[in-house]
Amino acid sequence: MLLLDGLVKNFGALRAVDGLSLRVNRGEIFGLLGPNGAGKSTTISMAIGLIKPDAGSVTYEGFGSPTQPSVRKHVGMAPQTLAIYEELTGEENVVFFARLQGVNNPRAAAREALERVGLTARANDRARIYSGGMQRRLNLATAFFHKPPLLLLDEPTAGVDPQSRTNILELVRELANEGAAILYTTHYMEEAQKICDRVGIMDEGKVLVTGSVQELLAKHSKETLVMIDRPSGETRISTNDPLREVTTALEAGDVTGLRVERADLETVFLSLTGKRLRD
Amino acid sequence: MRVVLTIAAKDLRILLRDRTNAFFVIVFPLAIAIFFGSIFGGGSRSIPIAVVMESAGPVATDFANALEKDSTLSVRMLPTREEGDASVRLGRVAACVILPKTFDSDLEKAMAGSRAIIEVHCDPARQAESGLVVGKLNEHAMRAIVRMFTDPKINSKMLAQSKLALMLNPNMTSAQRERVSDVLESLQELFNERNREATAAAAETSVNVAGSVNGDSAINTVNGNTSATKKSASNTTENLNVPGSTATAPAAIDPFLSLPIQIQSSTLTNDSTEPPSTYAVTFPQGLAWGFVGCIGAFGAGMAEERRRGTFMRLLLAPCTIATVLTGKSLACFTACMTMSVFMLLVATLGFRVSVQNWPLLALAIAACSFAFSGFTMALSGLFKYEGSARSAGNAIVLVLVMIGGGTIPLTFMPPFLRAASQASPFSWAILSIEGAVWRGFAFTEMLPSLGILLFIGALGLLLGNLFIQKRART
């Protein structure tokens, strides 16, 4: 559905995106993972046609390039910032964007979207008095009310309570099951592991690897991570034999703490870049 | 102390990094200082007036020449009073001065009680300037009177004409005629004697100069023509309170107790209508401030959308940026129209302001609303941050209102600012609304203002579109 091919974007001397290529298929949730400044937001801006790439192309397969306004009606976007009008009610917000998109029955579309995010009871309240989690759900509702075949969700669960997060993740899964192609960026590894069919790990403007979570774990992080705390600092050891590493450390003395972690996407990122995702 | 210095250093660094702050701390005060310095400082200032000479006599000619030479006036000579009045109506001059056909002949009979009238038709919206014009006319009238009584050729003719007028005056008894005639005879002898002395002196010295000083005024006679020197006579002007100088009917003046030249000023009237009420003048200016309010309400719209994050959603809509901008400017246009209609309803129903031409007023308001909605969109796209858009936008609008004549009469501005005022949409907005309300503009007279307002609106939309396109790419 979404095809990014060799995207390059420079801001002055800074190369924000460097030859990025990826594909997101219908019914698939593709997680784009990376630390702040990796180029995720710039990639999304190019994916929705707001920023023109210096090189490469963006294609919505079957529709064309999102630089054409008529093509953009096939995409829904939930930006990381809460892009809603606090002075309007929840329903008025969705109806406004539905009218912009040219939806036939905006009010019905708004009610359906609000119901799916669990805001029917508060539909006529101003968004200003919503909790953070409710505002985040409204932000999501304004992305999918028109049932677009492509959804770009930029940190859709940032700063929400556990209950809202669960609701959002379930809804995203539902939308994918209904056939939407979803590009999902997040900092939360457990989220990505839970709902993404495939992930791409991004750093310094490049996608380092793509694949399913299982594929990446198998390929890039077979080992277990042992973290040993000493007064001098933390030591990390990737190993196939964690018991031996722990024993050795304890025999050497001076150990103030010990942790053994199973390999996860964080470990994959660490092994690929030498740094933590949330650094 | 270290903490204090650290906080101060941080705040100063932030101050310098925000361009809006730099604008307000450095550029804006500088601009205001120069602006007010230009207004209240030295330099030439002149009030534009139209002069219509219906009389071709020497005194009228001298009077008009004196006005032309006066550096405080900028005289535009026009052939007919209709053209003079049109200049006032169109706002090109502050007043129209008319020297009527009988000006010289009335003056010649001054000693028989006849009075020469100078008509002044003032722009009601420029009362301050009109007051200055009347003051200057009084000054020049006094000088003309001095010239009349000190020029032997003129006063000899004046005495002869006055004696003739006395003989024909049916309102005087024969005893009164005789007494006044005796006085005139004595004066005639005095003037003849002085005339002979002057001629002899000229023959002796072969120099064509005769001098006579009266108060602050110095009179030179050169080749038989008189002209006043440009010496200031401001004291005379201040003390000169000519009876009947403010629209008093000539019949009410006792001719022997008033000066021979009367300044008769009135506000501009149009055809059969009465001069406009004060509210007819103030409501168009009030509308200009209403437009300022609309600009303030919508000027930060785009920056606000960016702050909210909804800008991205708007750009994602299956439409162009121009469409988004058009929608926003339509909201501003509607607000401007609504405000205008409300203000005019209050003016007409509550303050009995009579509108001369409703269709033209509707056109003027629509053009103003379009101009200011376009202007607002340009401002809206110009600034990245909401705070910048609000504060710098308000400052820009304030300056445009000031140079547009909304707060300070154009007369008090130096030439460059007066020229700059032509670029202010507010000056054109006020003129077009006044044109429909009380200036009596015809459609063709309204066209330049409407055209400029429409141009400003279109340019604003174009610039706004360019600015927002640029912002969307970054």
Chain A nearest-CA distance from B330, in A, is 15
pLDDT of residue B40: 63
Chain A nearest-CA distance from B12, in A, is 27
How far is it, in rounded angstroms, from Cα A90 to Cα A110?
Answer: 9
Report whether B154 contacts B57 (CB < 8 A). no
Of B309, B318, B472, the CB nearest to A83: B309
User: Whole-angstrom distance between the N-terminal and C-terminal Cα of chain A?
Assistant: 32
Report ipTM for this prediction. Answer: 0.76
In tens, the pLDDT along A80-111 reads 888 999 889 999 999 999 988 888 999 999 99
pLDDT interval class at B150 (50, 70, 90):
confident
pLDDT interval class at B239 (50, 70, 90):
very low
Report whether A153 contacts A143 (CB < 8 A). yes
Of A70, A84, A102, the CB nearest to B310: A84
In tens, the pLDDT along B247-257 reads 333 444 444 44
pLDDT of residue B217: 34
Q: Do B313 and A142 touch (CB under 8 A)?
A: yes
How far is it, in rounded angstroms, from Cα B446 to Cα A38?
Answer: 59
Highest mean pLDDT among A142-146, A246-250, B271-275 belongs to: A142-146
Those residues with Cβ within 8 angstroms of residue B347's Cβ, 6 or more apart along the chain or in another chain: B279, B280, B283, B353
Residue type, B30: L
pLDDT of residue B231: 31
Highest mean pLDDT among B11-25, B184-198, B332-346 belongs to: B332-346
Of A50, A52, A101, the CB nearest to B318: A101
Residues of chain B neighbouring A41 (CB-CB closer than 8 A): none
Q: Does B315 touch chain A (CB under 8 A)?
A: yes
Of B310, B319, B472, the CB nearest to A50: B472
The CATH class that applies to domain A2-217 reads alpha beta
Q: Do B313 and A52 touch (CB under 8 A)?
A: no
Q: Do A102 and B320 touch (CB under 8 A)?
A: no
How far is it, in rounded angstroms, from Cα A137 to Cα A164?
Answer: 8
Distance of CA B452 to the CA centre of its chain: 20
Q: Do B318 and A84 touch (CB under 8 A)?
A: no
* B155 or A137: which leads in pLDDT: A137
Q: For residue A249, is it left (φ>0), alpha (ψ between -120 and 50) or beta?
A: alpha
Q: Does B318 touch chain A (CB under 8 A)?
A: yes
Q: Is the pLDDT of residue A275 over 90?
A: no
pLDDT of residue B44: 59
As given in the structure block, the two tokens for residue B362 are 């509707």
Q: Is the pLDDT of residue B119 over 70?
A: yes
Q: Does B297 touch chain A (CB under 8 A)?
A: no
- The domains of chain A are located at 2-217, 223-262
Residue type, A229: D
Helix (H, G, I), strand (E, B) or coil at B220: strand
Of B310, B313, B319, the CB nearest to A69: B319
- Picking from B310, B316, B473 by the largest number of A CB atoms within 10 A of its own CB, the best residue to mutate is B316
| Average pLDDT of chain B, as a whole number | 76
Cβ contacts from A onto B, under 8 A: 52
Average pLDDT over residues B394-413: 74
Locate the DSSP E strands across B101-156. 116-122
Kindly report whether the global pTM for this prediction surpasses the value 0.80.
no
pLDDT of residue A105: 92
Q: Do B317 and A101 touch (CB under 8 A)?
A: yes
Q: Is the pLDDT of residue A48 over 60?
A: yes
